[in-house]
Amino acid sequence: MNEPTRAKARTWRVLRWIFRQTERTLAVIGLAALIYWTCFDLVYISSNSMSPTLRGDSYESGDRVLSERVSFWFREPRRWEVITIRRPDGVRIMKRVVGLPGERIQMLRKGRILIDGAEISPPPEMDFLDYFPFGNLVADQTVDCGDGYYVLGDYSRDSDDSRFNGPISPHQILGRPWLILSPSDRRGVVR
């Protein structure tokens, strides 16, 4: 084999190696994108309605939260769990589940919550929750959750939640917040 033929063969080997590496890299990027779009969602918190759990006062300065979608493929949302919801206008928000499907919810004075006539209290680690009777939970009214979930914001003085919009349907639930990615001083798991 003469020198020009060897050089041509070497060039083709190098080009094939580059094409294989490019193909593998694109496959890995494609798989990562597929996993992200199927299992995760990035949500920007732009209001303090879930403060202190999730904080934000504008799109630019609020928490960036990675929400996972996989949990609710295998189970239903639980009481006191924070969930990601898509409102009818397409905006993604996060609220805490208080009432489950089939339950009737009522709020007494001073924010005490009754489920099917029995008073419930948040777990001890959530003693910061302080709910206010507004909207459909005033004057000891009772709200039937039907097949939906009754959700409230942690800072209920400034929260557009089920008190004003009624229970949310299961198809509005996108997942649950998992990690606060930024700002760096708030980085960590959402509890």
* pLDDT higher than 70, residue 126: yes
The CA angle 85-79-141, to the nearest 5 degrees, is 85
What is the band of 1 on the pLDDT scale with cuts at 50, 70, 90? Answer: low
* pLDDT higher than 80, residue 111: no
Percent of the chain with pLDDT over 90: 50
* pLDDT higher than 90, residue 41: no
Percent of the chain with pLDDT over 70: 99
State the burial class of residue 166 (Cβ atoms within 10 Å of its Cβ: 0-12, 13-18, 19+). Answer: middle
Q: What mean pLDDT, rounded, does the chain reach?
A: 89
* Whole-prediction pTM: 0.82
Spell out the residues 6+ positions from residue 158 whose beta carbon is closer than 8 angstroms to its own.
47, 48, 49
Is the Cα dihedral 74, 75, 81, 85 positive or negative?
A: positive
Residue 69: both structure tokens together: 């979608």
State the burial class of residue 181 (Cβ atoms within 10 Å of its Cβ: 0-12, 13-18, 19+). Answer: middle
What is the band of 17 on the pLDDT scale with cuts at 50, 70, 90? Answer: very high
Question: Dihedral, CA atoms, 7, 10, 16, 22, nearest 10 degrees?
Answer: -100
For residues 53 and 190, is the Cβ–Cβ distance under 8 A?
yes
What is the band of 157 on the pLDDT scale with cuts at 50, 70, 90? Answer: confident
More confident residue, 131 or 148: 148
